Amino acid sequence: MSEPWTVGRLIPWAAEYLGGHGVDSPRLCGELLLSRVLGCTRLELYLRFEQPLGPDELADFKKLILRRKEREPVDYILGRREFYGREFLVGPGVLVPRPETEHLVEEALARLEGLDSPRILDLCTGSGAVALSLAHERPDAEVIGCDISPEALTWAQRNAHNLSLTERVRWLQGDLWEPVAAAGGFFDVITANPPYVTTAEMAELPPEVGRFEPRLALEGGVDGLDIVRSIVGGAGAHLRPLGWLLVELGAGQAPQALRLAQAAGAYSEAVLVKDLAGIERVLVCERKDYG
């Protein structure tokens, strides 16, 4: 009889196989997928090294490994991604939340301090990660998430249900300000993680992103700022006096985005916030007092 396929054998095999097909962090991917099949944590795998897998478990693991070999994002395969301490459901048709976007949440929460019952709008909401994180952190807030993609909003609604926030967040479908204008009212804070990958960069994205994640949520035009221009230029009409606009940016886009804010004429202040890698990641603009 051949040697059984135990957890201890499968982990290095998966790492070698995936690594040989150009997958980043192949051992981590193998562990995550094996944890999924066995219904345990990665730590528990190391306590079960001698455990053999049954035929059905091996077949399931092989299917997941083959999907990852084809460069399908591991988060799509697992169907979830952690963001700001909570688990979000993700899959085809929606952008996977990135760690750098947590800075957008942190900066928004800082501007909301001292405000009672604030009104928040999250543009390009995607999976709802930002909108739902803000709703969770500020139970007194009215939160609206908006996206052009009906498919993305389906994921946002699933996440709202999964996080017991269905009654706390309202969703609008449409192109930026069009559905927002129809909804009426002004906001204390507007956040946005818009598409900001340049057209040239789209061709250079890793397969996990370029082949699987929605182009609509990624591409921002020749300089990556097409949607940023619309957001920065239009937000002033939807912010309350001294309200805040916060927009995530791509690497190298900060100087031009800052000039867009200064030229808009609606803001008394525009600053840039760096992420942990030192990249100027978030543009923060304060609306002028109407008076």
- Residue 81 belongs to some domain of the structure: no
Range of 30's domain?
Answer: 7-70
**Of 61 and 1, the one with more pLDDT:** 61
Pair (194, 61) in one structural domain: no
Pair (183, 275) in one structural domain: yes
Pair (238, 156) in one structural domain: yes
- Read off the pLDDT of residues 120-149 as tens digits, 9 standing for 90 and up: 999 999 999 999 999 999 999 999 999 999
Pair (260, 136) in one structural domain: yes
Pair (16, 111) in one structural domain: no
- Read off the pLDDT of residues 4-58 as tens digits, 9 standing for 90 and up: 999 999 999 999 999 999 999 999 999 999 999 999 999 999 999 999 999 999 9
Binding-site annotation, residues for substrate: 193-196
Pair (56, 132) in one structural domain: no
Say yes or no to pLDDT of 1 above 60: no
Binding-site annotation, residues for S-adenosyl-L-methionine: 147, 193
What is the 3-state secondary structure of the chain? CCCCCEHHHHHHHHHHHHHHCCCCCHHHHHHHHHHHHHCCCHHHHCCCCCCECCHHHHHHHHHHHHHHHCCCCHHHHHCEEEECCEEEECCCCCCCCCHHHHHHHHHHHHHHCCCCCCEEEEECCCCCHHHHHHHHHCCCCEEEEEECCHHHHHHHHHHHHHCCCCCCEEEEECCCHHHHHHHCCCEEEEEECCCCECHHHHCCCCHHHHCCCCHHHCECCCCCCHHHHHHHHHHHHHEEEEEEEEEECCCCCHHHHHHHHHHHCCEEEEEEEECCCCCEEEEEEEECCCC
Binding-site annotation, residues: 147, 193-196
Q: The domain spanning residue 166 has which CATH number?
A: 3.40.50.150
Bridge pairing between strands 86-89 and 169-173: unpaired
Pair (99, 151) in one structural domain: yes
Pair (22, 136) in one structural domain: no
Pair (165, 196) in one structural domain: yes
Structure tokens at 117: 């019952």
Pair (141, 44) in one structural domain: no
Pair (225, 101) in one structural domain: yes
pLDDT of residue 3: 85
Domain tally for the chain?
2
What distance in Å separates the CA atoms of residue 38 and residue 33, rounded to the nearest whole number?
9
Say yes or no to pLDDT of 212 above 90: yes
